[in-house]
Amino acid sequence: MYTYLLLQLVGLVTVMAVVGYAIYLLIRARRSSGRKLAHGTSRRTTSRRTYVSMAVIAFLGLSVGGIGAQNYPIHSAVPLTMHAVSPDGNPPSLPFANGVDFMLKSRNFAKVEDIGADPNDVPAPISRTGNETVTFNLTAKEVMAEVAPGKHNNYWTYNGQVPGPMMRVMVGDDVVINLTNDKRSLHEHNIDLHAVNGPGGGAKATAVQPGETKSFQFKALNPGLYIYHCATSNVGVHNTHGQFGLILVEPKEKLPAVDREFYVVQSELYTHGGVERKGLLLFDAKAMMDGNPSYVTFNGRVESSPRMKAKVGETVRVYVGNGGVNLISSFHVIGEIFDTVYPEAAIGSEPHQNIQTTAVLAGGATIVEFKLDVPGSYLLVDHALARMNKGAWAVLSVEGDEDPSVFKSQSPPASARSGH
């Protein structure tokens, strides 16, 4: 239990003893510098050997202390089957050699103009009644894109977007997943779907090296909204780089019809220098382990202009996921009350009614529905509101006629006009 502490103490004491003895020799040499030495040549030889020996002892002391004080890679505590080469370093970070290698190889990465998945890109509701075999083709791609203007991040993606494309199937469908790893990738990737009943959610069956393609098939047994993500070691590293998405398994009786559906997934980025840093953002594994993200975003980046639009009188449904890897989201729409919430995206149990804020667990999801009564701009937020400063917000822009019976601005205040 005390081995590494003892090694540090031995190393420290050894180095301090060598330094102390060196200081003693220097003081003694100064005091005797004016005296004539009877055996000068022999004395100089002995002194040289002494200093060489001291240097060797000091080096050994530093080495022993270094062994006791060394940091271990970020996957040292995960199951043995999940150990892998990843941006660790001592301390866990991006090592200099890996940084140089990355700079040389990343020039081949695709440059994505807009990494954020379109929240309007939701597959149409399933109209058929019978089951089918449904096939999805996904490509794991490592790309470069901006998380905010002038701030460039290396994203690991499905199909070059964050989150990956939303998938939609029906209970009883046979689902085929074909996963290709882009030949320009630097890492192995795979896919684990929480909708799968089977080992690893498909991760082992789809472990693909750069340039490879693998596939597997599963039957969708349980209705619900499920996260999918890369489960290649180190899993947290792959997820926080952007490899996640949602798959909806519709029930046989279908979900109630709504006017519009949106697709939003919250996630975290961990980068050196925090939110202030510009230029190329390097991954900070220590920050990930401490759970202190530089960015918390909806759909992979800080929003620049509203992409969700609706009209007064419409009912909207938002499929909300949390790609993690640390934070629980307190999902809220400022100025709206959720008429219906499927807690933890459970379909089959009784939904909740009239909810202000709902929890979205890391690696989990929820479904919220609400009717729009008044025009304006509505902010989607994580109501741990400090995260808005890190990018956790998006805008739903609503057009239409005002309804003063629901909401109106009064000036002067009503109490003043009534004489109170």
Please report which helix (H) or strand (E) contains residue 31, including its range: helix 3-31
Coil, strand or helix at 103: helix
Q: In the CATH scheme, what is the code of domain 268-399?
A: 2.60.40.420
Q: What is the pLDDT of residue 33?
A: 66
Please report which helix (H) or strand (E) contains residue 406, including its range: none
Please report which helix (H) or strand (E) contains residue 59, including its range: helix 40-69
The torsion region of residue 89 among left (phi > 0), alpha (psi -120 to 50) and beta comes to left
- Token pair of 280 as six digits: 């190329």
Cross-strand partners of 398: 310, 376
Extents of the domains making up the chain: 3-69, 96-255, 268-399
Q: What is the pLDDT of residue 403?
A: 96
Cross-strand partners of 102: none
What is the distance, to the nearest Å, from the Cα of residue 408 to the centroid of all Cα atoms in its chain? Answer: 41
Per-residue pLDDT of the chain (420 residues; tens, 9 = 90+): 667 778 888 988 999 998 988 888 878 777 776 555 444 444 444 567 887 888 888 899 888 888 877 655 555 554 544 444 344 433 334 445 555 666 776 778 899 999 999 999 999 999 999 999 999 999 999 999 999 999 999 999 999 999 999 999 999 999 999 999 999 999 999 999 999 999 999 999 999 999 999 999 999 999 999 999 999 988 999 999 999 999 999 999 999 999 999 999 999 999 988 898 888 888 998 899 999 999 999 999 999 999 999 999 999 999 999 999 999 999 999 999 999 999 999 999 999 999 999 999 999 999 999 999 999 999 999 999 999 999 999 999 999 999 999 999 987 776 655 444
DSSP letters of 131-192? Answer: --EEEEEEEEEEEEEEEETTEEEEEEEETTBBSPPPEEEETT-EEEEEEEE-TT-SS-B--E
Q: What is the pLDDT of residue 81?
A: 46
Q: How far is CA 189 from CA 207, 234, 239, 324, in A?
A: 6, 11, 11, 18
Q: How far is CA 371 from CA 283, 346, 358, 398, in A?
A: 40, 21, 17, 11
Measured distance CA(39)–CA(37) in Å, rounded:
6
Write the burial class of residue 116 (CB in 10 Å: 0-12 exposed, 13-18 middle, 19+ buried).
buried
Could you tell me the sign of the dihedral formed by the alpha carbons of 282, 286, 289, 293, in that order? negative
β 352-355/295-298 pair status: unpaired
Coil, strand or helix at 384: coil
Cβ atoms within 10 A of the Cβ of 373, count? 16
Q: What is the pLDDT of residue 271?
A: 92
Q: Which amino acid is at 80?
A: L
Q: Contact 193/117 with Cβ under 8 angstroms? A: no
Picking from 244, 192, 239, the residue whose alpha carbon sits closest to that of residue 218 is: 192
Q: What is the pLDDT of residue 94?
A: 44
DSSP letters of 299-323? Answer: TTB---S--EEEETT-EEEEEEEE-
* Main-chain dihedrals φ then ψ at residue 242, nearest 5 degrees: 120, 10
Q: What is the pLDDT of residue 225?
A: 98
Domain 96-255 matching CATH 3.40.50.620: the answer reads no
